[in-house]
Amino acid sequence: MDQQAIKNRFGIIGSSPALNYALNVAIQVANTDLSVLINGESGVGKEVFSQIIHVLSSRKHNPFIAVNCGAIPEGTIDSELFGHEKGSFTGAVDSRKGYFETVNGGTIFLDEIGEMPLGTQARLLRVLEAGEYIRVGSSKVQKTDVRVIAASNKDLLDFTQSGRFREDLYYRLNTVPIRVPSLRDRKEDIPLLFRKFAVDFAERYKSPPVQLDEDARSVLVNYPWPGNVRELKNIAEQISVLSQDKLITGPILRKFLPENNMSRLPVLASIGSHPKEFSNEREILYKLFFDMKKDVTELKKMFFEILQNPGAINSANFQHANMLGDFQQDSHPTLFQPQPVVINAHSDIHNHEDVEESLSIMDKEKELIIKALKKHRGKRKDASLDLGISERTLYRKLKEYNIDD
């Protein structure tokens, strides 16, 4: 089955290079039993790609089930996936089969896998590596033959660094990664999608389809679409139902678009440069430390110049006076008089190396680790969670900085 036939079958609209590449990867990996990790923002259609992989695989005649890990309470997710025995917990009045038993021979799609509890992640890793699992409340090992396709709208690699996701499970799932592009990365497909939705809703509501003028088309393409295809479909439906005019202009379209502040990440901007987004708070702290180091280095350089050339301060004051002009010079004759700088030979002047060392990120990191360990009375697990790093990373840092906890 060629790519266009697959698009027609699953209702995929668009021909952007990023979309075509993701689809090609899904087609190539479908006829294997490799684990697949589908990444992409919410609303881009990750579940459609999991269905494509299943339908094109040798398991297509066996069951397929989609499970949203974030929608199942932590206390029951083990029972849902692996089943339980009668009396294994309060309310377990009967034995129950889990998804890995009922879908044996088929495919299970684990959506939002980043929300899966750590204990369940360990059980899932056992399934992936050995095809074995144990029901809740049982000691009997059972076998299963299920292909796992996982998806997440978060960066799981970041989750491994903060201890929220098992690193071994991440690399086991990420055998074949598929990145489904957001609408911002496939702007050329936005008008095509809107037209398709508009025609569909016109047929549903028995009305003429809405059309966009050039201004509205430009607004549509340049809107950031945080909700991706799902949001675009909702907007198309609102316009089809509520708009009195069937020719949509830019001002009309803007009334239906929410005024969203899309920059959810902190932004540091400098004059003459583009704003830079940072993925986490640690990156911002590093940036601030580097800026502080630069400022202190400049100040230190200025003082060294004064030490070597005492007349430099007079010149600097003279230039400062010229910049400010003759404002109030007559009424305050001493306002801009050069003032001598007295530096005591015995004063505590740190050299360049001392300043650099005191502002070292490594020193700050070591200081934060020591504080966290003191705060949690030497409990590494609690300290690592407080620091936002994995316990393994904390152990490595303790050895690296020779910290005795």
pLDDT class for 34, splitting at 50, 70, 90?
A: very high
Counting DSSP H helices and E strands in the chain, the numbers are 18, 11
User: Which pLDDT score is estimated for 140?
Assistant: 93
User: Which pLDDT score is estimated for 91?
Assistant: 78
Instruction: Write down the residue that tokens 């379209």 correspond to.
Output: 253
Q: What is the mean pLDDT of the chain?
A: 81
Question: 247: which strand partners?
Answer: 211
Per the structure block, which two tokens stand in for 316? 């600097």
> Is a pLDDT exceeding 70 seen at residue 323?
no
Candidates 2.160.20.10, 1.10.8.60, 1.10.10.60, 3.30.1370.100; CATH matching 184-256: 1.10.8.60
Output the CA torsion 391→394→398→400 (10° steps): 130
> Is a pLDDT exceeding 60 seen at residue 325?
no
User: Which pLDDT score is estimated for 35?
Assistant: 94
Give per-residue pLDDT as tens, 182-194.
999 999 999 999 9
Instruction: Write down the residue that tokens 């294997």 correspond to.
Output: 32
- The answer to which of 70-79, 146-155, 293-302, 353-362 has the lowest mean pLDDT is 353-362
> 383 and 369 in contact (C-beta within 8 Å)?
yes
Nearest Cα residue to 104 out of 59, 140, 141, 45: 59
Fold agreement between 3-181 and 184-256: no
User: Which pLDDT score is estimated for 82?
Assistant: 95
User: Which pLDDT score is estimated for 311?
Assistant: 56
Q: What is the mean pLDDT of residues 4-10?
A: 93
Domain ranges in the chain are 3-181, 184-256, 281-400
Residue 240, classed as helix, strand or coil, is helix
Element (H, E) at 292: helix 281-308
Q: What's the pTM value of the predicted model, to 2 decimals? A: 0.62
Give per-residue pLDDT as tens, 97-130.
999 999 999 999 999 999 999 999 999 999 999 9
Give per-residue pLDDT as tens, 190-242.
999 999 999 999 999 999 999 999 999 999 999 999 999 999 999 999 999 99
> Is a pLDDT exceeding 70 seen at residue 352?
no
Angstrom distance (rounded) from CA 311 to CA 316: 9
Q: How many CA atoms lie within 13 A of 205 on its CB side?
A: 18
User: Which pLDDT score is estimated for 279?
Assistant: 43
> 208 and 202 in contact (C-beta within 8 Å)?
yes
> 231 and 43 in contact (C-beta within 8 Å)?
yes
User: Which pLDDT score is estimated for 95?
Assistant: 87
Angstrom distance (rounded) from CA 74 to CA 273: 46
User: Which pLDDT score is estimated for 374?
Assistant: 85
User: Beta-carbon neighbour count of residue 170 at 10 Å?
Assistant: 20
pLDDT class for 288, splitting at 50, 70, 90?
A: low
pLDDT class for 355, splitting at 50, 70, 90?
A: very low
Please give the class, per CATH, of domain 3-181. Answer: alpha beta
